[in-house]
Structure 1
Amino acid sequence: MLIAGRYQLNTTIGRGAMGEVWRAYDQMLGRPVAVKVLLDRNADPTADSRFRLEAQTAGRLHHPHVVGVLDFGEHEGRLFLVMELVEGDSLARVLADDGPLPAEQVAAIAAQAAAGLAVAHEQGIVHRDIKPGNLLLDTNGTLKIGDFGIARFMDDPSGALTATGQIVGTSLYIAPERALGKPAGPASDVYSLGCVLYQLLTGRPPFRADSPIAILHQHLDATPVPPRELGAALPPAFENFLLGLLAKRPEDRPTARQAADWFATGAWRGRPEPLPAAAPVPAAAPIPVPAPAPQSPIPPRTKGAATTYKLPSALPGHRAARPRSSSGNRRARPSLRTFVAGRPRAVGLIAAALLFLTAMYVGMSVFSPDSSSAETPQETGRSSPATPTP
């Protein structure tokens, strides 16, 4: 089938709610392209407007990680959108074929997807449907974000083109604020990207239930199981940042630009930052040591002899401490021996006085009149009996 006289449709490579995607060839420029054709304009009254919105939205984005829009038109009553052809599979097909991916590959996908979202957000565009099926990997491993079919302009609330209260998007990857019916913002795309990365690491989305309503309640209230508890081999830094992408409040999540830079710089490995070189420690100033006081020489000891040294009774300029009695604060009284020994002159005077009194007493006893003879001896020669001297 030839569309618009230049796009030759060859094989179908995808089909969605709004249309189908064909592998085609641009005969005018001689290159392969992808052509998305709107299926039935009558099935959904907003399909025409949403299809045009997708063309306008993607047409404003020119980035290596966003599928570029090349042309838009109508052929035989059917709208078509010409995009660059991505040779490869979507992440949904990769998960189905290979299961969980290693942390190194998931980090590379995260950096590229976040960079593409950052460009869209800077242009005022919210994707609103980030999921594995809309993230494409080419043969070189380059990721591209596609399908801006339900994207909206942040400065145009009517860009969603949905009825009031209707939730647009996939429940497995929808942000909590959108589950409450609030408008989608850039943080909503970041949350959805976190859900995709979680599934790439563990093989399952963070929340599962039997009905979409039950899944929405889990997005609002439940805490996701840390991926490492499910067997995912990834550094703790990666896990902590991923759980930050899944924060319940939009203001607690990093921006798409911050996430892109964080993954691109390898911070997800959790390598410590290099420490600054230690500043040299200044040498301490030498402490002056006073010269030792001169000491008298110590005589050498002779073998077998003991040498006695006399210690000073008190240091110069200090009074010797007086002895204290055992009663504590009472002063000790000197003994008689201390009194006598301390006063040799007084002792001599007392001894002389005692000797004088003793001599006087003896003399009085000898020369007393009661002790003399009553009679003088006669010259007759007879001796009278002697009177004993007392």
Structure 2
Amino acid sequence: MKYGRYEIIKELGRGTMGVVYQAHDPQIDRMVALKVLRPDRVVSRDFVARFLREAKAIGRISHAGIVTVYDVGQDHDTIYIAMEYLEGRPLNEVMKDRTLPVDEAVGMCIQVAEALDYAHSRGITHRDIKPSNIILTPENRIKLTDFGIARIEDPDAAQQTQAGDILGTPVYMAPEQVLGQKADGRTDLYALGVIAYEMLTGRRPFGGGNIAAIFQSITHQSPQDPMAVGDFDNRALADLILKSLSKKPQARFQSGAAMSDVLKQCMTRDSTVFLEKPLPTQKTTSTRKKMVALAALLCLAVGAIGYMVIPKPDRSPAGRPAVDLPTPTPTAAPEPEPAPLPLSTLSVTSTPTGAQVFVDSLFKGNTPVDISLSPGRYEVRLNLPEYYEWEAQLQIGETDSTPLDVRLIAISQN
């Protein structure tokens, strides 16, 4: 099978946007990675524009840490992008079920920060930095891929995304993305901070059982100190990660170059790295332990002195205190729990029927199926053998029922 002049060798992977093939370019006799837009996405102008934006975004930049785009074209009623064929492993496979040594993790973060600095300097924000979009080559070099939702600073271009749209992968999204606000280079550096946290501790700084819980954690909760969670001892590096995870963009690193410089300092033998705004966690563990012990001793001493100095009240014959003691302040009654939000019904049907339905990665049954959900935003995915996977984010309101009818596209139609 061919797309344009490219001869398909084998499928490499597939996702929400399209299918990636290994293909051969006979014109110059080289292997390429061919990303082909899924047929069911071609009918959507938004998805077509986003797909073409990937080619435009990475086609205008040239950096050793960013995948090279060779060509873009149309065939078989769809669109394809021919790009550099990479040998290596995605970072999520490298990180699977293990933490990375500090020098290895920092080395990769430095490369990503420098590649992002280059892209940002040319007006491109990736907006979906995550381990699966970072390829580690056999030479231990990283390559950034998948600029499918990149934002390009182009004042002459029409606005491609409506205000308030949420794009990205939930666990790596910055607070401004969650809130549907403008993303810039500091958004990408936030995601790199999440990856660094995950590489060194084996867990993510924010999480939850569903997208709503993850978004709540990202926007309102503070991450645990990575040194308290992970098995490494580098205070400067832990502070760097916490700085990159700041809720407000202005409190993070303002460029990839600045983040890269501090990462390099973290690896010098006797360096002490001072960040612009000292973080509460910058005190050493031993200092904290000494302060806690001192506070405990002071409390015991004050309590003992108070017990010896304060006289016992005389009792009257009736057994009541001879002096008036202060009336204890009544404890405030706990605030009542907020009433649970009313449940709505998401009624999912598909053509053909029998597709597996997942909501926030949890299996909910086969179509047709009714699913009770609280109002909020959910990621819905349908799977059926021999058909392309269907996936979308839905906003469930407070109505009694929300219908969803999905027409699945057979792979054989490709």
Q: Same fold (TM over 0.5)?
A: yes
Are 2:166 and 1:167 equivalent residues in the alignment?
A: yes
CA 234–81 in structure 1, closer or farther in 2 if over 3 Å, else same:
farther
CA 159–198 in structure 1, closer or farther in 2 if over 3 Å, else same:
farther
Deviations 1:284-315 (A, max 9, x none): xxxxxxxxxxxxxxxxxxxxxxxxxxxxxxxx
Are 2:75 and 1:75 equivalent residues in the alignment?
A: yes
2:232 aligned partner: 233
CA 69–156 in structure 1, closer or farther in 2 if over 3 Å, else same:
same
1:385 aligned partner: none
1:235 touches 1:269 (CA, 8 Å); kept in 2?
no
Q: What does residue range 164-313 of structure 1 map to in structure 2 within 5 Å?
A: 164-254=163-253, 255-263=255-263, 265-269=264-268, 271-272=270-271
Give the C-alpha shift of residue 114 in structure 1: 0.5
2:163 touches 2:181 (CA, 8 Å); kept in 1?
no
Are 2:54 and 1:18 equivalent residues in the alignment?
A: no
Deviations 1:331-364 (A, max 9, x none): xxxxxxxxxxxxxxxxxxxxxxxxxxxxxxxxxx
Whole-angstrom CA distance in 2 between matches of 1:234 and 1:46 = 46
Deviations 1:250-277 (A, max 9, x none): 01111211112333x343446237xxxx
1:94 aligned partner: 94
2:152 aligned partner: 153
Are 2:48 and 1:48 equivalent residues in the alignment?
A: yes
Whole-angstrom CA distance in 2 between matches of 1:160 and 1:135 = 27
1:114 aligned partner: 113
1:371 aligned partner: none
Whole-angstrom CA distance in 2 between matches of 1:156 and 1:190 = 24
2:91 touches 2:131 (CA, 8 Å); kept in 1?
yes
Query: Which amino acid is the alignment partner of residue 118 of structure 1?
Result: D
Query: Which amino acid is the alignment partner of residue 127 of structure 1?
Result: H
1:62 touches 1:68 (CA, 8 Å); kept in 2?
yes
CA 25–261 in structure 1, closer or farther in 2 if over 3 Å, else same:
farther
SS of corresponding position for 1:214: helix
Q: Which has the higher strand share?
A: 2
CA 151–170 in structure 1, closer or farther in 2 if over 3 Å, else same:
same
Whole-angstrom CA distance in 2 between matches of 1:38 and 1:226 = 41
Give the C-alpha shift of residue 234 in structure 1: 4.1
SS of corresponding position for 2:45: coil
Query: Which amino acid is the alignment partner of residue 261 of structure 2?
Result: D
- Tell me the TM-score normalised to structure 1 length: 0.66
Give the C-alpha shift of residue 95 in structure 1: 2.1
Deviations 1:209-229 (A, max 9, x none): 011122112111211111121
Give the C-alpha shift of residue 188 in structure 1: 0.6
1:136 touches 1:145 (CA, 8 Å); kept in 2?
yes
CA 183–134 in structure 1, closer or farther in 2 if over 3 Å, else same:
same
Deviations 1:42-65 (A, max 9, x none): 453311111111100010110000
Deviations 1:163-204 (A, max 9, x none): 332211111011112222211111111101111111111122
SS of corresponding position for 1:46: helix
Whole-angstrom CA distance in 1 between matches of 2:43 and 2:212 = 25
1:65 aligned partner: 65
Are 2:16 and 1:34 equivalent residues in the alignment?
A: no
- Which range is displaced more, 70-79 or 116-125? 70-79
Whole-angstrom CA distance in 2 between matches of 1:185 and 1:270 = 33
Whole-angstrom CA distance in 1 between matches of 2:7 and 2:259 = 40
**Count of equivalent residues:** 270
1:134 aligned partner: 133
SS of corresponding position for 2:73: strand
1:236 touches 1:270 (CA, 8 Å); kept in 2?
no
Give the C-alpha shift of residue 38 in structure 1: 0.7
Query: Which amino acid is the alignment partner of residue 95 of structure 1?
Result: M
- Which range is displaced more, 22-31 or 148-157? 148-157
Give the C-alpha shift of residue 231 in structure 1: 2.7
Query: Which amino acid is the alignment partner of residue 230 of structure 1?
Result: V
2:103 touches 2:267 (CA, 8 Å); kept in 1?
no
Whole-angstrom CA distance in 1 between matches of 2:217 and 2:159 = 25
2:90 touches 2:132 (CA, 8 Å); kept in 1?
yes
Whole-angstrom CA distance in 2 between matches of 1:142 and 1:154 = 28
Whole-angstrom CA distance in 1 between matches of 2:233 and 2:191 = 20
Percent of residue pairs identical: 35
1:103 touches 1:233 (CA, 8 Å); kept in 2?
yes
SS of corresponding position for 2:99: coil
